[in-house]
Amino acid sequence: MKTLFKYLLMSMPLAVSLLLMTACNDDESVDPYDINYVYIYSPVSTENTLEYKGNGTFLVDIAPECIVNPVRCTKPAPTDLTIHINVDPSLVDSYNQANGTNYTLLKSVQLENATLHIKKGEYISADSLKVHYTDMTEFQSGAENYLLPIAITSIEGSGASISENSKIYLTFSSIYKVNTVTMGASKSMNLEYENGGFTNLTERLELENMLTADWAADDDINISLEMDPSLIGAYNAVNGTNYVLMPNTAFEHSTVTIKKGARTPQEKVALTFSDAMAAVNLGENYILPIVISEVNGVGAGIGKTTTAYLVFRTVEKLSLSVENVPVGTAINDFTGWNITVNGSATGANWGDSWMGLVTSPGNYVDYMEAFEPLEIDMGKLETVSAIQIQYYSSSYSPSSTTTIEVSSDGINYKVGQCELTAARAHTLVFQYPAEVRYIRVTYSATGRYGTLLTAVNVYTSTDE
């Protein structure tokens, strides 16, 4: 929030926001007799923004008093001067007309030091004008914009005149702020299928970080949640997916509470599955749109983000282990094979073919970067039992989480992960041999000096 009660000199009827010093200079420049003008000393800014909450308090503490500034002459005072200042409600209409605004007069104010003195021979008053805000609830009356016009009304003493432009306008934007509750990010879960069945189906699922209020609740906030299947069609159209509604799902509690003083619910949003997800099928993916339908609480409301999508993907899991020796027989017929890294058949630095990893083992082709997939198309199905990858040295091998994906059709992949340590070779053995044509290897980090492969061997559990 902007610092409250800044002040900016406004000139009327000259251009808006003209500083008073400039205004007084204008007075002098057009006056052939060089009249000594009195004006309210230039403040910094008039723009003030207030934000209040539903419980009647403000988001930022407000000082009930502000110091405007002293008054000043353009030349030394020829005699002792007494300057009278007051709020001038008549200026509100002219200000609105000149600036195309719709300000309302701020009434709950009291001026302190409304009579100021400039001693003979001096330029500036010893005291400053102060404004006291006597009833801050006026800012919560429903009007959004308030104006406090302050002007010099008279001068006692000779040899000085009121500057025609000696007026300041303190403006206030008062905004009601709703403590909005926002839905968290969409989430996804892999339903893992391995060796004839799913391995991680559940009867209950807790969702983290689903609901957040803008600030600590002023009182308990109750949030009602719904599932809205009507949103699935639009989601699929936008994302190019074909998800179906996750069946047999309910909220454990369809209403959750953010307690007073907190920004998030103490209890997690939880889903229950009456059939323990038994209705899911491999090859089909599911979705559950969750919507904030209602928010109740002092000063609370629904935020801009009201929907989260929970996606459940059925994934055939590939169980792997890192071993010292491979299992099976190495494939040595590479007819119909194609190998790429990050979609390219040749290395980026030297232009050598990645097929050299199988046709000329022992000779490095090029460097690989993290998250650049090594992809192998063997041209036909093979019953794969292991994959071995060799490196220029252990310093050029990755020590990272590595993802291995295999597929028979290039569309549906089995996915496995393993933790690799620096070594001259990594031998990845399948727990269950798989019918494979496509292989994809993705490292999450590079070796100490980069990742430099010298050979790839694929092993099959059938005789070649």
| pLDDT value, residue 195 | 82
Encode pLDDT of 11-38 as tens digits.
Answer: 333 333 333 333 334 444 444 457 899 9
Domains 36-176 and 320-460 share a fold: no
| pLDDT value, residue 11 | 33
What are the domain boundaries of the chain? 36-176, 180-315, 320-460
Angstrom distance (rounded) from CA 40 to CA 129: 9
Q: In which residue are the tokens 């549906």 written?
A: 412
DSSP assignment letter at 120: T
- Dihedral sign, Cα of residue 314, residue 316, residue 318, residue 319: positive
| pLDDT value, residue 463 | 52
The residue-averaged pLDDT of 117-143 equals: 90
Cis-peptide, bond into residue 13, ω within 30° of zero: yes
The residue-averaged pLDDT of 250-261 equals: 96
Angstrom distance (rounded) from CA 257 to CA 267: 8
- Identify the band that residue 98 occupies on the pLDDT scale cut at 50, 70 and 90: very high
- Identify the band that residue 40 occupies on the pLDDT scale cut at 50, 70 and 90: confident
Tokens in use for 316?
Answer: 């055939």
Q: Is 438 helix (H, G, I), strand (E, B) or coil?
A: strand
Q: Is 175 helix (H, G, I), strand (E, B) or coil?
A: strand
Angstrom distance (rounded) from CA 335 to CA 4: 76
| pLDDT value, residue 24 | 39
| pLDDT value, residue 32 | 40
| pLDDT value, residue 61 | 67
Contact criterion met (CB below 8 Å) for 414 and 406: yes
Q: In which residue are the tokens 């801009």 written?
A: 304
Which residue has better confidence, 231 or 165? 231
Looking at domain 180-315, which CATH architecture does it have? Answer: Sandwich (2.60)
Encode pLDDT of 110-120 as tens digits.
Answer: 999 999 999 99
- The answer to pTM > 0.85 is no
Encode pLDDT of 441-460 as tens digits.
Answer: 999 999 888 899 999 999 99
Angstrom distance (rounded) from CA 215 to CA 182: 11
Long-range Cβ contact pairs of 11-20 (< 8 A, separation 24 or more): 11/165, 11/167, 12/91, 12/94, 12/95, 12/98, 12/165, 12/167, 12/169, 13/94, 13/98, 14/165, 16/98, 16/99, 18/165, 20/163, 20/165, 20/166, 20/168
CA neighbor of 290 nearest in space, from 274, 311, 273: 311
Encode pLDDT of 300-348 as tens digits.
Answer: 999 999 999 999 999 888 999 999 999 999 999 999 999 999 999 999 8
As a whole number, the mean pLDDT across the chain is 88
Cα separations in angstroms, 28 against 9, 156, 157, 163: 18, 21, 20, 10
| pLDDT value, residue 50 | 86
The class (CATH top level) of 320-460 is: mainly beta
- Identify the band that residue 43 occupies on the pLDDT scale cut at 50, 70 and 90: low
CA neighbor of 150 nearest in space, from 175, 201, 113, 100: 113
Encode pLDDT of 144-180 as tens digits.
Answer: 889 999 999 999 999 999 987 788 898 988 888 999 9
DSSP assignment letter at 257: E
| pLDDT value, residue 29 | 46
- Dihedral sign, Cα of residue 31, residue 32, residue 36, residue 41: positive
Q: In which residue are the tokens 């907190």 written?
A: 262
| pLDDT value, residue 27 | 45
Angstrom distance (rounded) from CA 364 to CA 341: 14
Encode pLDDT of 49-93 as tens digits.
Answer: 888 888 888 887 667 887 888 999 999 999 999 999 999 999 999
Contact criterion met (CB below 8 Å) for 354 and 376: no
| pLDDT value, residue 45 | 63
The residue-averaged pLDDT of 193-214 equals: 93
Cα separations in angstroms, 4 against 18, 48, 49, 63, 92: 21, 5, 7, 8, 21
DSSP assignment letter at 158: S
Contact criterion met (CB below 8 Å) for 274 and 216: no
Angstrom distance (rounded) from CA 123 to CA 326: 95
The class (CATH top level) of 36-176 is: mainly beta
The pLDDT > 90 percentage for the chain reads: 72
Q: Phi and psi for 394 in degrees, rounded to 5?
A: -65, -25
| pLDDT value, residue 49 | 84
- Identify the band that residue 411 occupies on the pLDDT scale cut at 50, 70 and 90: confident
Q: In which residue are the tokens 């008062």 written?
A: 174
| pLDDT value, residue 33 | 54
